[in-house]
Amino acid sequence: MVAGSNPVAPTIAFFREAFCQNRSSALVPISNVTKCLTRCWFRLRPQAGNRLLWLLALAAAAFALLRPLAPGDWLRLIDWPTLQALAGLLVLTKGIERSGALQHAAGQLLIHLHTQRSLALALMVLSALLAAFLTNDVSLFLLVPLTVSLASLAQLPLERLVAIEALAVNTGSALTPIGNPQNLFLWQSSNLGFGGFVAMMAAPVALMASLLALTTLLLFPPRPVKLRERAAPARRDPRLLTVSVLLFAGFVAALEFKLALPALLLVLLVFVLFDCRLLTQVDWTLLAIIALMFVDLRQLASAPGVDQWLGRLPIRHGLGTFLAGVACSQLISNVPTAILLRAHVGDLPALAAGVSVGGFGLAISSLANLIALRLAGSRRAPGLLHLIALPFLLLATLAVGLLFV
């Protein structure tokens, strides 16, 4: 067999280079690993302009003064499986990004889609469909870096595209019980099958999708896409792409079997031994933001008097349940809202619709919003997201709320 005809050969060569860089040793020198860990440590430091991180840290300090907890109780506030899953996805999507595959895919998209409107509609539909079956977070980890690559090749409104993708994954993920964490929790606490849950959410999602399509048409004119004059050609690394994709598929499968930690350790080991520089380019600060968000929001939800106050509100059925889900999500995010309100309401369809619509609006209302903003890496993105998402929240609340009057 000719060596070049073996599809596994690039992968074998990839690992051979990773583990056999020195003729005298089969392992990467320890000094290289030490340098890598040092660089990663410095990447963990928050940037001066990272307002959300500092705000959450200050809130955590305030809670520590007002409601002192033992160190073990603090650690139990963090959803560690979610954090481990996000860490693995951050590393693997960075590997796919550095392989040049996203720039190549972006170039192919620009060949077939010639207007901003057609490109935005394609990304919107793809975001919603992927979110329904791969979860909203995984969809963003795939599509936002692709969108950033598109903006590097053509003159595109990156922040607007990312805002639409954030709305789209929140919309698409609402349809299925596996699309997002709050749906999974509500599904497991009910007696509905997979098809029954989809049927329950079909009408709210249809209304949200219609509003999303209309919003996309209004925000993106049929203006021709202009390529950048000096767009650098994509430098592709097939070996890095092969290993990143294989690890990505295995990692997502491991998440289904609740094996996030061992899968994460394997991913980190492979990249520490092969390419430490890749790990230093990962946005580790995002993990600190998510961890602090768990700490702050869960303490807020469990504050004394909250249960008694909720028990006195007219939120057990219908429109009251729906509006409670929407409003509470703006304060403590939609996943904690679903957990908090489930014990106080008896209307599962209204609650599921409420926390789904509640994912629009403020960035903190959904973890997907925060991920999209961090992956976009633009200072203008938060302001533009709120400029689009807050009116969308109002319209979606009015439209979907009519189903529960």
> Exposed e or buried b for every residue in 86-122, given b needs 16+ CB within 10 A?
bbbbbbbbbbbbbbbbbbbebbebbeebeebbebbbe
Q: Domain span at residue 130?
A: 51-226+233-404
Residue 14: inside a domain, yes or no?
no
Q: Which residues contact 108 (CB under 8 A, 6 or more apart)?
A: none
Q: Do 214 and 79 touch, CB atoms closer than 8 A?
A: no
More confident residue, 400 or 61: 400
Quote the pLDDT of residue 20: 47
Per-residue pLDDT tens digits for 242-298: 999 899 889 888 877 888 899 999 999 999 888 888 888 888 887 888 788 888 877
Residue 42: inside a domain, yes or no?
no
Query: Given a cut of 50, is residue 405 above it in pLDDT?
Result: yes
More confident residue, 224 or 308: 224
Tally of structural domains, the chain: 1
Measured distance CA(405)–CA(403) in Å, rounded: 6
* % residues pLDDT > 70 (the chain): 86
Residue 190: inside a domain, yes or no?
yes
Residue 187: inside a domain, yes or no?
yes
Question: What single-letter DSSP state applies at residue 237?
Answer: -
Quote the pLDDT of residue 23: 43
Per-residue pLDDT tens digits for 39-90: 555 544 444 446 778 888 898 889 888 888 888 888 888 888 878 888 888 8
Per-residue pLDDT tens digits for 145-164: 889 988 888 899 999 999 99
How far is Cα of residue 179 from the mean position of the Cα atoms in its chain?
12
Q: Do 82 and 88 touch, CB atoms closer than 8 A?
A: no
Quote the pLDDT of residue 36: 58
Residue 4: inside a domain, yes or no?
no
Token pair of 118 as six digits = 């057609």
In degrees, rounded to 5, the angle at the alpha carbon of residue 196 between the alpha carbons of residues 191 and 198 is: 125
Q: Do 128 and 277 touch, CB atoms closer than 8 A?
A: no
Measured distance CA(138)–CA(167) in Å, rounded: 14
Helices (H) then strands (E): counts for the chain? 21, 0
Quote the pLDDT of residue 288: 86
Residue 252: inside a domain, yes or no?
yes
More confident residue, 188 or 58: 58
Greatest mean pLDDT among 69-83, 103-117, 346-360? 346-360
Q: Where are the alpha helices (DSSP H) in 67-135?
A: 71-76, 80-98, 101-112, 116-134
Question: What single-letter DSSP state applies at residue 192?
Answer: -
**What's the mean per-residue pLDDT of the chain?**
83
Question: What number is the average pLDDT over the span 130-139?
Answer: 84
Q: Where are the alpha helices (DSSP H) in 225-284?
A: 238-256, 260-274, 276-280
**Residue length of the chain:** 405
Per-residue pLDDT tens digits for 4-43: 455 455 555 554 554 444 444 444 445 555 555 555 555 4
Residue 134: inside a domain, yes or no?
yes
Residue 280: inside a domain, yes or no?
yes
Q: What is the pTM of this model?
A: 0.75
Residue type, 141: F
Measured distance CA(196)–CA(182) in Å, rounded: 16
Measured distance CA(254)–CA(260) in Å, rounded: 6
